[in-house]
Amino acid sequence: MEERIVSPLLFGSNLEHTRADVIGGISAEMLKNRKFVGKPGSVERGCAAGWHPIGEKTYLAFGEPYTRHGEGYRMKRRLETNAQEITNRDPGEKAGIAQEGLYVNGGKTYLFTAAVRSFGPGALTVLLKDGSGRVLAEDTFPFAETVSGDTIVNGHFSYAEYAPADDFREYTLELSPDESCDNARLEIFFSEEGCVSLGAVSLMPKDNFHGMRRDVIGLMKEMGISILRWPGGNFAGEYHWKDGLLPRNMRAPFESYMGLETQPNSMGYDMHEINTDDFLALCAEIGAEPFITVNPAWNTAEESAEWVKYVGGRARYWSLGNEFGYGHMEGDNTAAGYAAVVRKHAEAMKAVDPEIILCSSGPYPDPEWAEHAAKPLADLAPFVSLHNYLPFPRYRERKAEKAEYERCIDNIYTVNREKARAMRALLNANGLDGLRISFDEWNTWYAWYRPESVTDGIFAAVQLHMMIGCTEEFGIGIGCHFETVNEGAILVRPDRAWLTPMGQMIAMMKKHAGGVLKIAEKDVAATVKEGVLTVTLVNPSYDEEEKYRLPFGGEILERVLYTSEEVTPPSSFTVTDEFKLAAVNGEIRIVLPPHSAALIRIR
pLDDT digits (tens, 9 = 90+) for 99-128: 999 999 998 999 999 999 998 888 999 999
Residues 550-570 pLDDT 10s: 999 889 999 999 999 999 999
| Exposure b/e, 195-215, CB count within 10 A at least 16 = b | bbbbbbbbbbbeebbbbbbeb
- Per-residue model confidence (pLDDT) at position 123: 94
The DSSP output letter for 6 is P
> Does residue 193 have a pLDDT over 60?
yes
Q: By C-alpha distance, which of 320, 160, 156, 113 is closest to 244?
A: 156
Instruction: Characterize the bridge pairing of strands 436-444 and 383-390.
Output: parallel
Number of neighbouring beta carbons within 10 Å of residue 99: 21
H-helix or E-strand spanning residue 501: helix 501-509
Residues 464-482 pLDDT 10s: 999 999 999 999 999 999 9
Q: Pick the residue with more confidence: 361 or 159?
A: 361
Residues 6+ apart with CB under 8 A from 428: none
- Per-residue model confidence (pLDDT) at position 120: 82
State the Cα–Cα distance between residues 87 and 73, nearest whole angstrom: 32
Chain-centre distance of CA 167, in angstroms? Answer: 34
- The domain defined by 31-205 folds into Jelly Rolls (2.60.120)
* Termini Cα distance of the chain: 23
Decide: helix, strand or coil at residue 463: helix
- What sign does the CA torsion over 562, 563, 567, 570 have? negative
Parse the chain into domains and list their residue ranges.
8-23+210-517, 31-205, 520-602
Q: How many residues does the chain have?
A: 603
State the Cα–Cα distance between residues 111 and 105, nearest whole angstrom: 13
Residues 561-602 pLDDT 10s: 999 999 999 999 999 999 999 988 889 999 999 999 999 999
Chain-centre distance of CA 100, in angstroms? Answer: 26
> Does residue 262 have a pLDDT over 80?
no
- Per-residue model confidence (pLDDT) at position 342: 98
Contact 94, 147 (CB under 8 A): no
> Does residue 188 have a pLDDT over 70?
yes
Strand partners, 439: 479
Chain-centre distance of CA 200, in angstroms? Answer: 23
> 3-class secondary structure for 400-461?
HHHHHHHHHHHHHHHHHHHHHHHHHHHHHHCCCCCCEEEEEEEEECCHHHCCCCHHHHHHHH
Strand partners, 124: 141
Average pLDDT of the residues of the chain: 93
- Per-residue model confidence (pLDDT) at position 438: 98
- Helices marked H in 194-313 — which ranges? 214-223, 276-286, 301-311
pTM summary value: 0.95
Give the CA dihedral 124, 127, 132, 134, nearest 10 degrees: -100
Distances (CA, A) of 124 to 27, 97, 199, 484, 494: 26, 11, 14, 39, 27
Strand partners, 142: 123
Q: By C-alpha distance, which of 95, 93, 85 is closest to 116?
A: 85
Burial of residue 232 (CB within 10 Å: 0-12, 13-18, 19+) is buried
Dump strand ranges (E) for 95-242. 95-104, 110-119, 122-129, 135-143, 169-175, 181-190, 194-205, 227-230
| Exposure b/e, 417-456, CB count within 10 A at least 16 = b | bebbeebbebbeebebeebbbbbbbbbbeebbeeebbbbb
- Per-residue model confidence (pLDDT) at position 147: 55
Per-residue confidence band for 149, with pLDDT thresholds at 50, 70 and 90: very low
State the Cα–Cα distance between residues 573 and 567, nearest whole angstrom: 9
Q: What helix, strand, coil percent values describe the chain, rounded to 5?
A: 25, 35, 40
Contact 102, 89 (CB under 8 A): no
Residues 6+ apart with CB under 8 A from 415: 388, 390
Contact 513, 8 (CB under 8 A): yes
| Ramachandran sector of residue 278 (left: φ over 0; alpha: ψ -120 to 50; beta: rest) | alpha
Could you give the percent of the chain with pLDDT greater than 70?
96
Distances (CA, A) of 469 to 374, 417, 451: 25, 10, 30
- The domain defined by 8-23+210-517 folds into TIM Barrel (3.20.20)
Residues 6+ apart with CB under 8 A from 410: none
Residues 419-442 pLDDT 10s: 999 999 999 999 999 999 999 999
- The domain defined by 520-602 folds into Immunoglobulin-like (2.60.40)
Per-residue confidence band for 148, with pLDDT thresholds at 50, 70 and 90: very low
Decide: helix, strand or coil at residue 202: strand
Residue 147: half-sphere exposure toward Cβ, Cα within 13 Å = 10
- Per-residue model confidence (pLDDT) at position 156: 25
Distances (CA, A) of 139 to 125, 128, 181: 6, 10, 18
Q: Pick the residue with more confidence: 166 or 293?
A: 293
